[in-house]
Structure 1
C-alpha cells in the first residue's frame, strides 16, 4: 500500500553532529508528554552520555520516554547507564536481542533507522547515530552526515509509525491499540509549504518502497540528480535508471566514499565505475573524511534524507526510514550543501583514472550484471524474522557485558 504525500510541512537540514545533537537535545529538554527515539548505534561516550542526561531529565519531568536500539549496533551499554534510565521510567526496547555466544549472529536485517519524535509536534529523520564519531573533534575518522528537523502534519505519521513498531515488536501483533498508554495527539497545523512522504523499508509489506521512490524521482528528472551515499552498490534497475537519465541529458552526479571507514565499501562501489561513467554518470569521491550521508536532490524540487544506503543491506535486508520532500527552498539548501562538498572536498573520477586489464573488466561486468539483477531475489530468500523487541533491564545488561567480553576475546 502506497503512503500519502502530506502538505504543509517545514524542514531544516542539519549537517553532522555539531548541528544535529544540540537541536535534538534541546527538543528533548522541552518535552512535556512524550519522547520516541530509535537509533542503530548508541555508545556510552560523550554523545551517549549527553543523550542519557536529556532523556533522564525528560522522564523525571513526567514525559513518557521510549528508546529503541538495535542489539548489534548498541551492545555495550553499562548496567549503570541502563538502570538509571529505567528507574526513571524510560522504556528501553532492544531490537532482535538474539543470543550471542562467541560471535554476533544478528548482523543481517538490523534495525537501522534513526528517528526522534517529541510531543508529537517535532521530529528528526536522518542517518546520524548517537556516537562521538559524528563530531569533527573525533579526528580524521569523524563522519560526514545529514539529518532533517521536521515540523508539520507529517510528524503525526512518523509518530504513528514509531508507536506501531514498538507495539508490533513487543506483542507480535500487527494491529494494536496504544490509545490508553499513548493518548492521541492531534496533527500539527500547516507550518510551511513542503509536501512530504515518510517512507520505510521492512521485510513484509514495504520491502522496496525507498528504492522505488528513488527510482521514480530519477526517472522524472529533467535537469540534475545529485546523490550522496556512503555505501553504494544498488541493484540493476537502479543503475539502469541513472544511466537512462544521463543519456537523456540529465546531469547525474554521485558523491561516494573516497576515504572510507571500511575499505571494502570503496572497492565494491569502484567495481561499478566503468559501467556508470560509460553511461554518462559523473562520480565524485569525498576524500576529507568518511562519508556516512544518505541524501539526494533531484532538479529544483525533490530531496530525500534518511537512514537508507543504496546497497544490498539497506535495500533488501535492514529496517530503514527516509523522508521524501517536495519543496524548492529545501531542495536548494540540500543542493548547495552537496555542490559545496563536490567543489571543496571531492575529486572527480575520470575514465582515464581507471587502469584495468580489459578482459578482466569484461568478465567482472558480466558477473556484476547477473549479481545485481538477481540479488533482491536472493536477499528475499534469507530468513526474515518478524520484528521482535525486548525490554532492556539492568540485570540483562550485566549478562550482555559478559558475553561481549567473550566476543572480544575470541574475535578481537
Structure 2
C-alpha cells in the first residue's frame, strides 16, 4: 500500500500562528486524575476514544506498531468509520519507523494522519533530530483531555520487562478542557472556533499562580515563536515562592543556571527539596549529564534520589501543598529550548498530596539516595570534564543554528483509497 505525502505547512501549522500569542488562563472547578504508567493511562484513554461521538484530537511523540499501537489503530479506525472526526498528529522522528501500511490503513478509514517534520534517512541515519513535536495530548469531544509523558508504546507497561518506563499523565475534565481543545485544534492546523470572552493578549500575565488552590488548571506550552520559556518560567516562579517542600521527578535533568539557582536557593532557605533522577536510564548520557550537577546541589541541602528499578520517564513536580505540574517537558536543553512541549499547572491540594505520596513511595522503596559528602574517584578529572560538558550542553540549542536552515513541516498522509 502506498502513502502519498502532500506539503501543507511550514514551521508551524497555519492556524498555530494565530494562537501563538495566546496565554491560556487559570480555570476553576476541574477534576484532575493522576494516571501512573501505561497500566492506568491506556485503559482510560482507550475508553474515552471508544466512547467518542464527534471528535478525537491526538498528538504524540512516539507511536509504535506493537500491542499498544495496534489497539490504538483499531480504536481510531472504528471511531472514524462511525463518523467521528479523527485527527492524529505524529512526530517524524519519534514515529519515523511506522510502516506505510499501518498509516495507510488509518488514512483509508478516514483518519486524518499528519506527520510533523518527516524526513527520509540519509546513509541509514535520521537527520531530523531537533525541534521535535514532543507533546502527548488527547482531547475527546472537547469534554475530556489527557496530557503527560506517556507515549503510545508497549514500553510503558510493566510486562515489557526491565526496560519498561516509569511515567505519569493526567486526565482532565472541566472548563480547562476548552483550552486544551482549542490548543490541539490550532496545532493540528484546524481553525479553532472563537469562544465568548476570548481575548488575545499582547503581554503575558505577571504571575504563574492562582489565588484559589482547589481544582485550578492552566495549560502552558513551549514553542519556537513567542512562548520559548513559558514552562521554564513556571518552574522558576513556583520554586521562588516555595516555603515547605519541593519534589521534582524528571527523566532528563540538565536545566539552565536560573532554574538551578532557584532549586538551590529554595534548599538554602529551609525548603525540603527532593530530586528524583534516572538511575537506570534509557539514555546513558542523560544520567552522566545530571550527575555533573549533583555536587552543586547537594552541598546546599538538596536531596537527590536515583530511581533504579527501571527507566524513569516522568516529567512531574510539586511545590508546597497545592502546586503541581504534569506534562511532556523534561528539564534539559532539548525540551527547554528546542522541542514543542505542553504541561498543565494544577492548584489542588488533593492532587498534590496524591502525587506527593506516589513519589515518596518511589523515593523510599525504589531509589538510592546520593550522599551529601560524596567525592568520587578522579574527582578533579570529572570536575574538568563536567565543566566542559555542562557548557557545551547549555549552549547546544544555539549551536544547532550552525546547521543548515531547517523549518519543521506538518504533512498529511493520504491512503491508497484517497489517491484514486
Same fold (TM over 0.5): yes
Who is 1:401 aligned against? none
Q: Mark the CA change 1:177 to 1:36 in structure 2 (over 3 Å): closer, same or farther.
A: closer
Equivalent residue for 2:138, pick from 105, 116, 119 = 116
Q: CA deviation at 1:350?
A: 0.7
Return the TM-score normalized by structure 2: 0.85
Matched, 1:143 2:180: no
Q: CA deviation at 1:360?
A: 3.0
Could you list the per-position Cα deviations for residues 361-387 of structure 1 after superposition, in whole angstroms to 9, with x for gaps in the alignment? 553465466557655655677677555
Point out the structure with the larger helix share: 1
Could you list the per-position Cα deviations for residues 309-344 of structure 1 after superposition, in whole angstroms to 9, with x for gaps in the alignment? 011110111111100100001101110110110111
Who is 2:208 aligned against? none
Q: CA deviation at 1:258?
A: 0.5
Who is 1:325 aligned against? 346
Counterparts of 1:20-99 in structure 2 under 5 Å? 20-99=41-120
Matched, 1:256 2:262: no
Query: Is 2:166–2:312's contact at 8 Å kept on the other side of the alignment?
Result: yes
Q: CA deviation at 1:239?
A: 0.6
- Distance in 1 between residues matched to 2:167 and 2:46, nearest whole Å: 18
Q: Mark the CA change 1:113 to 1:255 in structure 2 (over 3 Å): closer, same or farther.
A: same
Q: Mark the CA change 1:239 to 1:280 in structure 2 (over 3 Å): closer, same or farther.
A: same
Query: Is 2:216–2:347's contact at 8 Å kept on the other side of the alignment?
Result: yes
Who is 1:9 aligned against? 30
Who is 1:297 aligned against? 318
Moved more, 71-80 or 211-220: 71-80
Q: CA deviation at 1:76?
A: 2.3
Q: CA deviation at 1:353?
A: 3.9
Q: How many residues align?
A: 381
Who is 1:238 aligned against? 259
- Distance in 1 between residues matched to 2:299 and 2:33, nearest whole Å: 36
Q: CA deviation at 1:393?
A: 3.1
Who is 1:134 aligned against? 156
Query: Is 2:338–2:397's contact at 8 Å kept on the other side of the alignment?
Result: no
Could you list the per-position Cα deviations for residues 269-315 of structure 1 after superposition, in whole angstroms to 9, with x for gaps in the alignment? 11111111112111000000000000011110000110000111101
Query: Is 2:292–2:390's contact at 8 Å kept on the other side of the alignment?
Result: no
SS of the equivalent of 1:58 reads: helix
- Distance in 2 between residues matched to 1:194 and 1:106, nearest whole Å: 39
Q: Mark the CA change 1:195 to 1:383 in structure 2 (over 3 Å): closer, same or farther.
A: farther
Equivalent residue for 1:125, pick from 143, 147, 163 = 147
Moved more, 320-329 or 344-353: 344-353
Return the TM-score normalized by structure 1: 0.87
Query: Is 1:225–1:297's contact at 8 Å kept on the other side of the alignment?
Result: yes
Counterparts of 1:10-409 in structure 2 under 5 Å? 10-102=31-123, 103-167=125-189, 177-178=191-192, 193-364=214-385, 366-367=387-388, 370-371=391-392, 374=395, 378=399, 385-394=406-415
Could you list the per-position Cα deviations for residues 228-274 of structure 1 after superposition, in whole angstroms to 9, with x for gaps in the alignment? 00011111111111000000000110000011112111111111111
Who is 2:204 aligned against? none
- Distance in 1 between residues matched to 2:257 and 2:247, nearest whole Å: 19
SS of the equivalent of 2:115 reads: strand
- Distance in 2 between residues matched to 1:382 and 1:256, nearest whole Å: 31
Query: Is 2:334–2:397's contact at 8 Å kept on the other side of the alignment?
Result: no
Could you list the per-position Cα deviations for residues 173-224 of structure 1 after superposition, in whole angstroms to 9, with x for gaps in the alignment? xxx7455xxx98999xxxx941111011100111010011011111110000
SS of the equivalent of 1:19 reads: helix
- Distance in 1 between residues matched to 2:184 and 2:276, nearest whole Å: 31
Query: Is 2:333–2:394's contact at 8 Å kept on the other side of the alignment?
Result: no
RMSD: 2.4
Q: CA deviation at 1:226?
A: 0.2
Query: Is 1:237–1:373's contact at 8 Å kept on the other side of the alignment?
Result: no
Who is 1:398 aligned against? none
- Structure 1 residues without counterparts, runs of 5 or longer: 168-175, 396-412
Query: Is 1:235–1:372's contact at 8 Å kept on the other side of the alignment?
Result: no
Q: Mark the CA change 1:330 to 1:161 in structure 2 (over 3 Å): closer, same or farther.
A: same
- Distance in 2 between residues matched to 1:377 and 1:107, nearest whole Å: 14
